[in-house]
Amino acid sequence: MAPRAIAMLKDAALTALVTAALGIFIVGFRTIDVGSRTGLSFDYELTDLAVAVIVVFLGRLGLSLAAAGLRWPVIALGVVMVAAGVSPMKLPSGFLHWFVALGGALLVLRGIWPWADRAVAVASHTSGGRLVQEIGAKWLGWALLAVAVVLPFTPLADQKTMDLGVLILTYVMLGWGLNIVVGLAGLLDLGYVAFYAVGAYAYALLSTQHGLGFWAVLPLAGMLAATFGILLGFPVLRLRGDYLAIVTLGFGEIIRLVILNWVDFTNGPAGIGSIPGPTLFGAVFAETAPAGRQTVAEMLGIPFNSNHRLIFLYYVILVLALITNLFTQRMRRLPVGRAWEALREDETACKALGINPTNTKLTAFAVGAMFAGFAGSFFAAKQRFISPESFTFIESAIILAIVVLGGMGSQVGVVLAAVLLIGLPEWFRELGNYRMLAFGLAMVLIMVFRPRGLIGHREPSIRLHPVASAGSG
């Protein structure tokens, strides 16, 4: 036992040493602006560093203990750390309390993991467990849909919730659109937000300068985005996966930079404002209608309420998202959809079987771009103001993270991931700046521990010889 304990301690000490080396400059010396022209001076944050090093030391030790099968000491250690984190002990920042407590919570989780794992495995083999699984696989999507449809009529639906609902649904739609490209066709697209921007600017420009309405522009914006998808996709789609990723990233940045710099056309960094919102059979959502128009409240003979607009927007994006989903589900059963999935699995084999990879990829790219265009139009109509700032690389990364976390190719997974990644940080505003940090770390952790996402979906949509109890989603 003794040599093993020493090895564990040594390992933990080494990890702590590496942490110290990583943190000593970046964390330990915080550069702050001082008023004078000389520029910067230091804030010494060495306590932060020391706490971080200790947490990492204990964490690593705990993980080794857990790996050696010693669960109780790990759980005890975790509980002590959580207690230390929530205790009124004096630490320089609130974040450190969180950090300590979080480390402890993770250790506790790691300690009870084997039991939980076994319990789930046992439960899934009982008849009740199997029933739950089956219902979950079959009805989870419908249940989510039902919740989404009735949400505006529940007492929960205040302005904040509806705003959040619209936001989440927008990302669900974008996630479903990108899922066609990444999840089904296996093309890593890092510039997806470019098509979103095309749709948004198409609506913004056509409505503010040519007076076209939302419903007239919507199909146009989709077509325009799809055309962009084809134009950009055509030359680059013969590239291998990771090259393609970087080229699409480059395209995304080119489009953003052009929007930013072509001031005559797009109004540059100042953005485009006072974009009209969507109308309901020609009626507008406002307290007083402009000349020749009618407000929705007048048309329906109900008292005006500013929430109506939000509820309407909510249903518009819900329907748009559902169309995306339905379209995808249908496409998957067509030859081209099956070709996407085949291409994802093995490009060389596809070529040998006579599938034209460029055309097949191009369809996926164009269809994905089209839905991004729809979503972009909706975004412009909802925000009433757009600027290039909304279309940075980080947006593409967020949408990609939703698809990856959801489990590439799974439609329900995208919804769960969008709720998790967009909804949770909005509810927990205190996370604030730590949100994107957690985001990046989550992407890494998903890839390391659960590369198939929340709901892994790699089953082909159609099998030649149906296998007994083949799952489908």
Residue 456 structure tokens: 């892994």
Q: Is the dihedral of CA 74, 114, 424, 199 positive or negative?
A: positive
Distance CA 359, CA 234 (A): 9
Residue carrying structure tokens 């989603």: 473
Under rule CB under 8 A, residue 44 binds another protein = no
How far does the chain reach from its first CA to its final CA, in angstroms?
A: 49
Here the tokens at position 127 are 């008849």
Query: For another protein, which residue of 4, 10, 30, 463 counts as binding (CB under 8 A)?
Result: 30
> CA-CA distance, 378 to 366, in Å (whole number)?
18
Note the helical H segments in 279-433.
296-300, 307-333, 335-345, 347-352, 357-383, 393-406, 411-418, 424-427
Q: Classify strands 29-33 and 40-44 as parallel, antiparallel or unpaired.
A: antiparallel
Contact residue for another protein among 296, 366, 397, 402 (CB under 8 A): 397
The rounded radius of gyration (Å) of the Cα atoms in the chain is: 26
46 binds another protein (CB under 8 A): no
> Which range in 26-34, 126-134, 151-159, 161-169 contacts another protein by CB under 8 A?
26-34
Question: Least CB distance from residue 200 to another protein, whole Å?
Answer: 20
41 vs 472 by CB, closer to another protein = 41
Q: Which of 254, 334, 353, 462 binds another protein (CB under 8 A)?
A: 254
Please say which residue, 256 or 309, places its beta carbon nearer to another protein. 256
Q: Is 57 in the site for another protein (CB under 8 A)?
A: no
With CB under 8 A as the contact rule, the residue among 89, 156, 302, 394 that binds another protein is: 394
* Binding segment toward another protein, per CB under 8 A, in 138-146, 238-246, 273-281, 459-467: 238-246
User: Which C-beta is closer to another protein: that of 448 or that of 467?
Assistant: 448
CA gap 247, 191 in Å, rounded: 8
Residue 237's SS3 state is coil
Does 21 interact with another protein (rule: CB under 8 A)? yes
Contact 312, 378 (CB under 8 A): no
* 384 is a site residue for another protein (CB under 8 A): no
In the complex, what is the shortest distance from the CB of residue 299 to another protein, in angstroms, rounded to a whole number?
Answer: 46
Collapsing DSSP to helix, strand or coil, 126 comes out as coil
Stretch that binds another protein, among 257-265, 282-290, 308-316, 414-422 (CB under 8 A): 257-265
Number of residues in contact with another protein under rule CB under 8 A: 59
Give yes or no for a contact between 396 and 190, defined as CB atoms under 8 angstroms apart.
yes
Which member of 6, 18, 86, 135 binds another protein (CB under 8 A)? Answer: 18
By CB under 8 A, residue 88 contacts another protein: no
Exactly one of 1, 2, 32, 291 binds another protein (CB under 8 A); that residue is 32
Q: Cβ 249 to another protein, closest distance in Å?
A: 7
Is 448 among the residues that bind another protein (CB under 8 A)? yes
* Contact flag: residue 357 with another protein (CB under 8 A): no
Q: Give the orientation angle of helix 71-86 with respect to helix 94-123, to 10 degrees.
A: 140
Q: Closest distance between another protein and the C-beta of residue 393, in Å?
A: 7
* Cα gap 225→375, rounded to integer Å: 10
User: Residue from 81, 247, 272, 364 that binds another protein (CB under 8 A)?
Assistant: 247
Secondary-structure percent of the chain, ordered helix, strand, coil, rounded to 5: 75, 5, 25
Contact region for another protein (CB under 8 A) — 127-135, 208-216, 258-266, 295-303? 258-266
Nearest to 423 by CA among 405, 441, 444, 447: 405
Query: Which residues have C-beta within 8 Å of that of residue 310, sequence separation ≥ 6?
Result: 159, 162, 163, 166
CA dist list (Å): 38 to 28, 29, 31, 33, 43? 21, 17, 13, 9, 16
State yes or no: residue 144 binds another protein (CB under 8 A): no
Q: Name residues contacting another protein, limited to 406-445 (CB under 8 A).
A: 433-434, 436-437, 439-444
Are the beta carbons of 202 and 378 closer than 8 angstroms?
A: no
CB of 433 to another protein, least distance (A): 6
Least separation in angstroms between residue 99's CB and another protein is: 12
Least distance between another protein and beta carbon 61 (Å): 17
* CB of 60 vs another protein, minimal distance in Å: 12
405/402 Cα distance (integer angstroms): 5
Q: Can you read off the two tokens belonging to residue 276?
A: 């009209």
Q: Give residues 298-317 in contact with another protein (rule: CB under 8 A).
A: none
Under the binding rule (CB under 8 A), the answer on residue 102 touching another protein is: no
- Residue 133 is which amino acid? Q
The contact set with another protein (CB under 8 A) reads: 18, 21-22, 24-27, 29-33, 38-42, 45, 186, 188, 190, 235-236, 239, 241-243, 245-247, 249-251, 253-254, 257-258, 260-261, 348, 393-394, 397, 400-401, 404, 433-434, 436-437, 439-444, 447-448, 451
